[in-house]
Amino acid sequence: MDLQVEKINKISGVIKAPASKSYSHRAFIAAALAEGQSILRDPLYSADTIATLEACEQLGALFQRYPDKCIVQGTAGYIRTPENIIDVKNSGTSVRILSSVAAIAPRANYTIFTGDESLRKRPMQDLIDALENLGVQISSSQSNGTPPIIVKGGFEGGQTDIKGDVSSQFISSIIMAAPYSKKPVTLNVKGTFVSKPYVNMTLSVISKFGIDFEYDTTNIPEYSSYYIEPQKYEATDYTIEGDYSSASYILAAAAMLPSNLTVKNLYKDSMQGDKIIIDIIKKMGAEVTVDDDQIHIESDGNLKAFDINLEDAPDLLPTISILMAQAEGVSKITGVEHARFKETDRVHNCAVELENVGVDVEELQDGLIIKGNPTGGYVDSHMDHRMVMAFYVLGLKIGNIIIKDASCYDISFPNFLEVMHTISEK
């Protein structure tokens, strides 16, 4: 589906932010591992999170879906091996976290994960290596460190190391499965720790489901350690907060256009790294008021450039790049080399598509240098939901943008167009 974006004049109204994709993934998995029945309130049912939900069903959990809640009968850690290969479509979070979870199945059983063409290019070798040190038999079917991934049941535990500069999902994966290992697990994270807020989100979720852990930051630079003893997840009643990642497109639109907008269900004390979007649009010139559970933004649509390191919020790269693209001055985004290993190489593809709409951009190994004044043009989504939503927002500002293969926004924000139409004024 090609999507033509029309220019609008104003953003206004009151809107509820969509539920967090990251929290929904983790809550579905924790509830599936728990002993007893959990109630998950305000979950996100998107292509990615449904991939996790359906995979957990294949592993033995039972889910009852309702619009405002999901009731989950957990497995208490007694994972079954599915009859068929588990297809997680385009969801990297699903394949990475569930590869560790599948290892707690009975030792004689095998689970195979696959996905679409994009997912089968996602690097997994660092997770494979770390899990092998914990007694897990896991391999890439093509012996190239990418899915399909074959996991044999059996999670012994012990000690393992993992690099912190590739993907926080690898760390979250081991942490979420570790309570059902046979022996305590010590996970040492070495080197630069990127996207650490996502790991903190994981720890927050498992703690709500009754899991205890120890976290040690020593005096040794760039070294962290997690310690988890064998224990069981406990069923709970859990409410999923709004998603700063998805809300970033709403907030970006309100910053770059004349606006008077309130976004509910965004929490002031959230652990989400993408909460930094508030500070970014403030620095660029928007007026933002943050209450306990909502954000109010007013802007005249005139933004100023500045430099930002997005090491802890790489998913914001497309959003921030289009904000910078129409700001006055030259901006520099750094710290996002790991964004090259998302659904697509987001650093390169953002550079390419910004150039396609007339922006002067220089691609760095870990970011972009952007000079504004976009004129519009034809944008390839690269089948990346975040690219679609970011360039849609830019189109609201300048018009004259057509996005190829735009329907993939439903991976994380199924009613994105409906929400944007609600707050847009021509």
Q: What is the pLDDT along the chain (426 residues), one digit of tens a residue?
A: 899 999 999 999 999 999 999 999 999 999 999 999 999 999 999 999 999 999 999 999 999 999 999 999 999 999 998 989 999 999 999 999 999 999 999 887 899 999 999 999 999 999 999 999 999 999 999 999 999 999 999 999 999 999 988 889 999 999 999 999 999 999 999 988 888 899 999 999 999 999 999 998 665 556 789 999 999 999 999 999 999 999 999 999 999 999 999 999 999 999 999 999 999 999 999 999 999 999 999 999 999 999 999 998 999 999 999 999 999 999 999 999 988 988 789 999 999 999 999 999 999 999 999 998 899 999 999 999 999 999 999 999 999 999 999 999 999 999 999 999 999 988
Residue reference for tokens 């909460």: 275
Domains contained in the chain, number: 2
Known binder of ligand: residue 92? yes
Domain that holds residue 347: 3-17+242-425
Same domain flag for 70 and 184: yes
Q: Which of 232, 266, 296 is the last residue of a domain?
A: 232
Same domain, 226 and 320: no
Instruction: Provide the 3-class DSSP secondary structure of residue 7.
Output: coil
Q: Is 386 annotated as a binding residue?
A: yes
Same domain membership, residue 135 and residue 68: yes
Same domain? For 303 and 399 the reply is: yes
- Is residue 273 domain-shared with residue 225, that is, in the same domain? no
Instruction: Tell me: do 10 and 63 sit in the same domain.
Output: no
∠ Cα 352 355 358 (to 5°): 160
Give the model's pLDDT for residue 222: 67
Domain boundary among 232, 259, 292: 232
The answer to whether residues 218 and 314 belong to one domain is no
Angle formed at CA 213 by CA 76 and CA 169, multiple of 5 degrees: 80
Within a domain: 363: yes
Phi, psi (deg, nearest 5) at residue 262: -120, 130
DSSP states of 324-367: HHTSBSEEEEES-GGGGGSSS-HHHHHHHHHHHTT-EEEEETTE
* Phi then psi dihedrals of residue 12, to 5 deg: -160, 165
- Asked if residue 253 and residue 190 are part of one domain, the reply reads no
* Position 237 in a domain: no
215 with 66, same domain: the answer is: yes
409 in any annotated domain: yes
Amino acid letter, residue 345 = D
Q: Is 116 annotated as a binding residue?
A: no
* 43 and 145 inside one domain: yes
Inside any domain, residue 188:
yes
Q: Which of 172, 201, 232 is the last residue of a domain?
A: 232
Q: Which residue has the tokens 């988890």?
A: 228
45 assigned to some structural domain? yes
Whether 326 and 274 map to the same domain: the answer is yes
The answer to the question of whether 195 is labelled as a binding residue is: yes
Token output for 326: 């129409």
Q: What is the CATH number of the domain that holds 166?
A: 3.65.10.10
Run of H or E residues at 52:
helix 47-58
Strands 237-239 and 214-217: unpaired
Q: Is 140 labelled as part of a ligand binding site? A: no
Question: Which CA distances in Å does 147 have to 48, 113, 125, 156?
Answer: 16, 7, 10, 23
Q: What angle do CA 338, 340, 343 make, to 5 degrees?
A: 110
* pLDDT at residue 20, rounded to an integer: 96
Alpha-carbon Rg for the chain, nearest whole angstrom, is 21
Q: Is the pTM of this model over 0.75?
A: yes
Is 168 labeled as ligand-binding? yes
Domain check: are 218 and 246 in the same one?
no
Residue 400 forms part of a structural domain: yes
Residue 132 covered by a domain: yes
Q: Please provide the DSSP assignment of 166-196 as one string.
A: S-HHHHHHHHHHGGGSSS-EEEEEES--TTH
Q: Any binding-site annotation on 41?
A: no
Q: Does residue 248 have a known ligand-binding role?
A: no
169 annotated among ligand-binding-site residues: yes
Any residues with CB less than 8 A from the CB of 354 and at least 6 apart, and which? 321, 322, 325, 361, 368, 370, 374
Q: Is 315 annotated as a binding residue?
A: yes
Read off the tokens for 14: 């009151």
Query: How far apart (Å, rounded) are the C-alpha atoms in residues 242 and 15?
Result: 11
Active site residues: 315
Q: Confirm whether residue 80 is marked as ligand binding.
A: no
